[in-house]
């Protein structure tokens, strides 16, 4: 990062913090956290600003109207990005998996277009990154290195050609499923149909390896996680998940999967979503989401689904999650998988409530300050901030270079590969 940007970022970070009483010094841990993040690349694995723009109540899909130079209704704008000392962001180009009638591919292209227009609109603050080297180059210029991630393999409509087209447009990870089980992969929601990946699902992973697109296992079932780890030659990521041992919900990663990450090189980017970090919150929200899924099982219209969700959650008393609980998840993953296999994946602008102390993108330094108070070294904090996911991305690029030299693009189809039942999984 340039010295000028560092100074600006630190100044703005300080200006957006609550004023200290006269004569009271800032917390030394927070000062150290800001200094570390001013020179290290902090990369967040998942932010839903493109969806927030699409769903804006005042100007849907209008990138210009949703002005990031002003205070936005969500958790992300340029002032708060600078205050949070964010250095890199995977922008989620999310498309709901429940309504195929809307046209997954069309919506996916629109979401990619939105993200690219957002990046282009703010050249002083954002820069498109397609490789690990790009991330470092953009960061050195004092801008936020901006990558894109597809959230849900339904977007490829069972087509490896579509997968390659998305990669050509700049997508650098794909979450294999969202909240809907696919023809080739089980989601964490509902009963598994395939016990993980089908043969075509395995081919999707291999083709992602050939492209250099990170395989994202957030939202997938343990069986899908297991199969992807078995098949993938490159490190996998979880772009926004936490530890199931601390919050027992299907969206989180079991310890038996965490234990396999060192051999694969993968990274769990810990989410801040209260229902995934606090068991107390999950105990309230899990039954509500179960009711929501029952009532919307045959509802395709997105607006109607949102109305039903609002109705179900109205009046619910949801406990507060805390920054310390997020830090607990980071600590747990470091303990089980190791300090080289944990990262940050907040999921800002994808939810309505946030932990106390992590309300928006300006608050990353507070989380790092908490970890400093828990004894984390600068080396491990730098790895957590972005070093680990950059290593995974670089390794994926190396696998892609070898794979492209060894084999052409796959022309396999789901009809060819899944005509026979998938063999029993071990």
**Mind listing the pLDDT tens digit for each residue in 59-81?**
999 999 999 999 999 999 999 99
Tokens 């997105």 appear where?
A: 302
Residue 53 lies inside a defined structural domain of this protein: yes
Which pLDDT band, with edges at 50, 70 and 90, does 293 fall under? confident
Residue 425 has pLDDT above 60, yes or no: no
266 within 8 A of 392, measured Cβ to Cβ: yes
- Split at pLDDT 50, 70, 90, the class of 292 is confident
Question: For 193-224, how does the pLDDT look when each residue is reduced to its tens digit (9 = 90+)?
Answer: 999 999 999 999 999 999 999 999 999 999 99
At 330, which CATH number?
3.20.20.140
User: How do residues 151-164 score in pLDDT, each as one tens digit?
Assistant: 999 999 999 999 99
Query: Residue 398 falls within a domain, yes or no?
Result: yes
Q: 61 lies in a domain? A: yes
Which pLDDT band holds residue 423 (cuts at 50, 70, 90)?
low
Of 48, 18, 21, nearest in space to 30 by CA: 18
- Tell me the three state secondary structure of residue 173: strand
Q: How far is CA 229 from the centre of its chain?
A: 18
In the predicted structure, residue 130 carries a pLDDT above the cut 90:
yes
Q: What is the spatial distance between Cα 309 and Cα 291, in angstroms, rounded to a whole number?
A: 9
Compute the mean pLDDT over every residue in the chain, rounded to the nearest whole number. 92
Average pLDDT rounded to a whole number, residues 107-124: 98
pTM to 2 decimals? 0.92
> pLDDT tens-digit profile of 253-290?
999 999 999 999 999 999 999 999 999 999 999 888 88
Instruction: In whole angstroms, give the CA distance from residue 103 to residue 79.
Output: 35
Q: CB-based contacts of 95: which residues, under 8 Å, 6+ apart?
A: 104, 107, 108, 111, 150, 151, 152, 154, 155
Q: Please state the length of the chain.
A: 426
Total domains in the fold of the chain: 1
pLDDT of amino acid 64: 98
**SS3 assignment, position 337:** helix
Spatial CA neighbour of 417 closest among 158, 169, 244, 165: 158
pLDDT of residue 249: 97
Whether 23 maps to a domain, the answer reads no
DSSP lists the bridge partners of residue 342 as 268
Residue 307 vs residues 9, 289, 400: alpha-carbon distances, Å? 39, 13, 43
- SS3 of residue 216 by DSSP: strand
Active site residues: 46, 48, 151, 178, 219, 240, 347
* Beta carbons of 178 and 187 less than 8 angstroms apart: yes
Separation of alpha carbons 46 and 243, rounded Å = 17
Whether 19 is covered by a domain: the verdict is no
Specify if 214 maps to a domain. yes
Q: What range defines the domain where residue 233 resides?
A: 38-278+319-417
pLDDT at 13: 46
Three-state secondary structure along 389-402? HHHHHHHHHHHHHH
* Rounded-to-integer distance, Cα 199 and Cα 233, Å: 16
Percent of the chain as helix, strand, coil, to the nearest 5: 50, 10, 40
- Contact 367/42 with Cβ under 8 angstroms? no
**Is 286 inside a domain boundary?**
no
Share of the chain above pLDDT 70, in %: 92
Q: pLDDT (tens digit, 9 = 90+) per residue, 295-326? A: 987 887 778 888 998 898 888 889 999 999 99
Residue 267: beta bridge partners?
A: 237
- Over residues 13-28, mean pLDDT: 57
Look at the alpha carbons of 72, 61, 364, 178 in this order and tell me if their dihedral is positive or negative: positive
Look at residue 308 and tell me if it is in a domain: no
């Amino acid at each position: 990062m340039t010295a000028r940007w560092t100074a600006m970022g630190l100044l703005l970070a300080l200006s957006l913090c609550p004023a200290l009483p006269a004569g009271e010094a800032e917390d030394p841990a927070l000062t150290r956290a800001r200094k570390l993040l001013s020179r290290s690349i902090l990369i967040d694995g998942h932010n839903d600003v493109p969806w927030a723009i699409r769903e804006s109540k005042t100007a849907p899909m209008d990138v210009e109207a949703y002005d990031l130079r002003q205070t936005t209704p969500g958790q992300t704008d340029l002032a708060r990005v600078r205050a949070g000392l964010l250095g890199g962001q995977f922008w989620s180009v999310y498309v709901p998996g429940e309504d195929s009638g809307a046209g997954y591919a069309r919506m996916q292209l629109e979401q990619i277009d939105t993200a690219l227009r957002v990046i282009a609109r703010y050249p002083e603050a954002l820069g498109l990154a397609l490789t690990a080297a790009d991330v470092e180059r953009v960061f050195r210029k004092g801008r936020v290195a901006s990558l894109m991630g597809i959230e849900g393999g339904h977007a490829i409509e069972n087509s490896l050609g579509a997968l390659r087209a998305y990669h050509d447009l700049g997508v650098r990870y794909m979450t294999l499923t969202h909240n809907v089980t696919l023809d080739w992969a089980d989601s964490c929601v509902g009963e598994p149909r395939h016990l993980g990946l089908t043969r075509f699902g395995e081919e999707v992973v291999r083709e992602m390896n050939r492209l250099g697109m990170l395989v994202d296992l957030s939202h997938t079932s343990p069986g899908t996680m297991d199969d992807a780890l078995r098949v993938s030659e490159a490190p996998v990521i979880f772009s926004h998940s936490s530890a199931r041992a601390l919050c027992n919900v299907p969206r989180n990663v079991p310890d038996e999967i965490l234990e396999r990450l060192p051999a694969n090189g993968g990274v769990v980017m810990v989410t801040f979503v209260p229902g995934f970090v606090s068991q107390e919150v999950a105990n309230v929200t899990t039954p509500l989401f179960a009711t929501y899924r029952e009532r919307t099982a045959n509802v395709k219209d997105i607006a109607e689904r949102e109305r039903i969700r609002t109705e179900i959650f109205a009046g619910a008393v949801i406990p507060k999650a805390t920054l310390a609980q997020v830090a607990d998840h980071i600590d747990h993953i470091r303990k089980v998988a190791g300090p080289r296999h944990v990262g940050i994946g907040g999921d800002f602008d994808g939810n309505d409530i946030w932990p106390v102390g992590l309300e928006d993108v300006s608050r990353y330094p507070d989380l790092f300050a908490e970890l400093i108070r828990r004894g984390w070294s600068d080396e491990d904090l730098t790895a957590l901030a972005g070093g680990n996911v950059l290593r995974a991305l670089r390794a994926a690029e190396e696998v892609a270079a070898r794979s492209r030299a060894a084999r052409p693009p796959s022309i396999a189809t789901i009809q060819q590969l899944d005509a026979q039942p998938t063999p029993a999984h071990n």
